[in-house]
Structure 1
Amino acid sequence: MSPSSHARAADRPRNRRALVLVLVLVLALGGGAFAATWGVQKWLAGQVERVGDPFAELPARPAPAAAAPDEGEAETLDGAMNILVLGSDSRISAGDPGQWQAGAQRTDTIMLVHLPASRDAAYLMSFPRDSWVDVPGRGQAKINAAFSYGGPALLIQTIEQLTNVRIDHFVVTDFESFVRITDALGGVRMTLTNDLKVGGTVVPAGKQQLLTGEQALRFVRERKTLARGDFDRVQRQQAWMRAIVAKMRNDGTLHNPVTSARFLDVVSRSVATDDGLDERVMRDLQDRAKNLGSTDMTFFTVPFEGTGRSPDGAQSIVVLDREALDPLMAAVASDTLGAYLEGNAGSLDVLPPVVE
């Protein structure tokens, strides 16, 4: 998107979309008393757009991470929590179910966020968008086609069938949300192997270069020049998220009431989520994240064998490594992912300290 088209898009009324990393983790990482007050929490929850209940129509589901509460009791928040994060490639609002159109949208980014019951870590795992999977009622297809075929509910069903992991909440994002939040922070620092040209501006290659939201968007959308194509692009997306966390922590964004108010307003207006991610769950998410540092967050891509062709030869696909994927997801389902990664991190595509 050119700078001029981006400016025109910014002038149009925007639907609120989700930047889940900020909502789930960053909001609490600052540790500011301003962000923790009840009044601010209520204000934030009131600005979040809701997308209904995509779980209601699912015919069968994996068991929850924690035992279900007795009938009549409130939902427990003591167990692990799994949040499915989507980034739509369509300009039609994925956060407004009234604007979803069959065949009009696919999900450019698919990420599962696992927050363990121990509340001492956060795991963010990406599914390559071209992963070849079984889509319920549709047969074999790329995983991102599920959203196009049947919206949030079908993609959730597809992920749950693939992983046998129960999804607790659902959020949607597009990279325009990342642009706005990055700019609200005054930019983020990334390492550039080559000069980055955006419009009439050139950011020279080098370590810790300050990028605007639009420049960071160009950086993460690059694919053709990357050695591993989409796999490297996924890591750039993850690195951008990590850079947002680092910038907010280093600047103490949430320690200052003025900067907190401005930043949280941008974040909350970028959020769309299922009805169940209410004010109570948001408070719980803050409690889960308040003691986390950047070293407690692990980003990785789910196991894959490589690329291939669909059976009819018409599509380039990603072949998942089921022998490695199944025990990984069993560890997510049983909330033993930390221990699993300690013994198997070397075999996973984990985000390195520096992404070029």
Structure 2
Amino acid sequence: MRNAVPPSGHPGRDDLVPGLRRERPKRRGRRVLAVLLAVVLVLLLAAAGAVVYLTSSIGNDISRIPDAFRGLDAGSRPASFGGTTFLLVGTDSRAAGPTTGAGADAAVDAGSQRSDVIMLGTVAPDGRSASVVSIPRDAWVDVPGRGMNKINAAYAYGGAPLLIGTVEQLTGIRVDHFGVIDFAGFTSLVDSVGGIDVTVAQTTGNDGVDFTAGENHLDGTQALAYVRQRYDLPGGDLDRAARQQNAMKALLDKVQQKVTTDPGAIYAFATSVGDAVSVDDSLSNAGLVQLAVGSRDLRASTVSFVTAPVTGLGREGGQSVVHLDAEQGAQLWGAVRNGSVAQYADLHPADALGSTPS
């Protein structure tokens, strides 16, 4: 197994993550990165065998986002299909301090910038499978009340409520919960389980970290460089989305391994989750317990990772945009609702996360 390490002469850990300082390693940074919060929590809590205790412990520490569903007309929103769906985003925040998690500045609006990552994480109605769908941030869509625009503009225009409304209109899927995590929190999650293992298609590098073709063991800082890279990748942002999914899958695999090999590490991971994550204030501790208990049979191998289908790249005015495939997209969103994303991925392998992303 090859280790991705900063090459000699390149900046160290603090220089790789601008704004991140050793004296406060968990709570600095300008960008935030979405993590599959729902599935991570389900696997963590159900597999650890201490659902109520750990959920209450984590839940009490998680920062809540007020009014994430403010102004959304209940009568016009998609009907629930029995599953649980999280809208997970990362934002390009210019705030000097953290915008998510327990240390977030309450005066900072995390929705004041455009979202950098958009994912729908859905646990199927039977709790035995889940899916993660990445929506390209430059997808050209109808933003309610704003007309056609990039989907990531919705967050800048109207914060969580407008982005939720935009995604629900696009997909026909009801968003049950909303969550964000900053990238310093992402590094702490990876470090809390001893790093992750990913396979890289070709030798490349980003932010002073080299990734060799084949298997790479990444610590938190290296994992961050991996998921943030888009230049020198043939598919640009689409390949970066695949890397983000690949890192999430690797994290889930590592959590599941730790359950049997190092149970004490699970509590450290749980503490990292509680410290870094922000979720909407409708997700109570009791709701977390219900989600974990209902999904206790879920395993990392039953999580399907796909990207919303596209017809190609283009330009709208002076903007570079991604055009979504509406016809094939309708098949995907239907598969999310009925819990058949794995079957969709088999039929459309180009949209599915491969074993060796670029």
CA contact (8 A) 2:123 2:131 kept: yes
From 324, 329, 342, give the equivalent of 1:325. 329
1:65 maps to: 80
CA pair 213-347 structure 1, distance change in 2 beyond 3 A: closer
Amino acid at match of 1:148: A
1:281 maps to: 287
From 209, 222, 247, give the equivalent of 1:215. 222
What is the aligned-residue RMSD (CA, Å)? Answer: 2.8
Question: How much has 1:211 moved relative to structure 2?
Answer: 0.9
Q: How does 1:117-266 map to 2 (within 5 A)?
A: 117-192=125-200, 193-194=202-203, 196=205, 199=208, 203=210, 205-252=212-259, 256=263, 258-266=264-272
CA pair 109-291 structure 1, distance change in 2 beyond 3 A: same
Q: Which runs of 5+ in 2 are unaligned?
A: 1-10
Q: Which runs of 5+ in 1 are unaligned?
A: 67-78
2:91 maps to: 88
Question: How much has 1:131 moved relative to structure 2?
Answer: 0.2
CA contact (8 A) 1:31 1:254 kept: no
Amino acid at match of 2:155: F
Give the count of matched residue pairs. Answer: 335
CA distance in 2 between counterparts of 1:33 and 1:291 reads: 9
Deviations 1:61-86 (A, max 9, x none): 323325xxxxxxxxxxxx21111001
CA distance in 2 between counterparts of 1:253 and 1:178 reads: 23
2:27 maps to: 14
Deviations 1:264-295 (A, max 9, x none): 11111111011111112211221243222222
Question: How much has 1:33 moved relative to structure 2?
Answer: 7.1
Amino acid at match of 2:20: A
TM-score by length of 2: 0.84
**Range with greater deviation from structure 2 (164-173 or 286-295):** 286-295
Deviations 1:68-110 (A, max 9, x none): xxxxxxxxxxx211110011121435436631177x4111100
CA pair 31-55 structure 1, distance change in 2 beyond 3 A: closer
Question: How much has 1:175 moved relative to structure 2?
Answer: 2.5
Deviations 1:187-216 (A, max 9, x none): 1111232154654xx656243221111111
1:113 maps to: 121
Q: How high is the sequence identity, in percent, across the aligned residues?
A: 34
Deviations 1:41-61 (A, max 9, x none): 211110010011221311353
CA contact (8 A) 2:177 2:282 kept: yes
CA pair 15-285 structure 1, distance change in 2 beyond 3 A: farther
Question: How much has 1:40 moved relative to structure 2?
Answer: 2.6
CA distance in 2 between counterparts of 1:254 and 1:106 reads: 40
Q: Secondary structure of 2:240's match?
A: helix
CA pair 30-274 structure 1, distance change in 2 beyond 3 A: closer
Question: How much has 1:2 moved relative to structure 2?
Answer: 6.4
**Range with greater deviation from structure 2 (117-126 or 339-348):** 339-348
1:98 maps to: 107
From 271, 292, 296, give the equivalent of 1:290. 296
Q: Secondary structure of 1:98's match?
A: coil
CA contact (8 A) 1:132 1:320 kept: yes
1:355 maps to: 357
CA contact (8 A) 2:34 2:117 kept: no
CA distance in 2 between counterparts of 1:32 and 1:281 reads: 14
CA contact (8 A) 1:33 1:255 kept: no
Question: How much has 1:122 moved relative to structure 2?
Answer: 0.3
Deviations 1:286-330 (A, max 9, x none): 1243222222000000111010000x2x00000011111123223
1:3 maps to: 13
Deviations 1:222-260 (A, max 9, x none): 21211111111110000000111111222337962x322
Question: How much has 1:37 moved relative to structure 2?
Answer: 4.5
CA pair 196-42 structure 1, distance change in 2 beyond 3 A: same
CA pair 149-264 structure 1, distance change in 2 beyond 3 A: same
CA distance in 2 between counterparts of 1:244 and 1:101 reads: 25
CA distance in 1 between counterparts of 2:354 and 2:342 reads: 18
Q: Secondary structure of 2:203's match?
A: coil
Amino acid at match of 1:235: A
Q: Secondary structure of 2:276's match?
A: coil
2:3 maps to: none
TM-score by length of 1: 0.84
CA contact (8 A) 2:192 2:265 kept: no
CA pair 19-266 structure 1, distance change in 2 beyond 3 A: farther
Q: Secondary structure of 1:269's match?
A: helix
Amino acid at match of 1:330: G
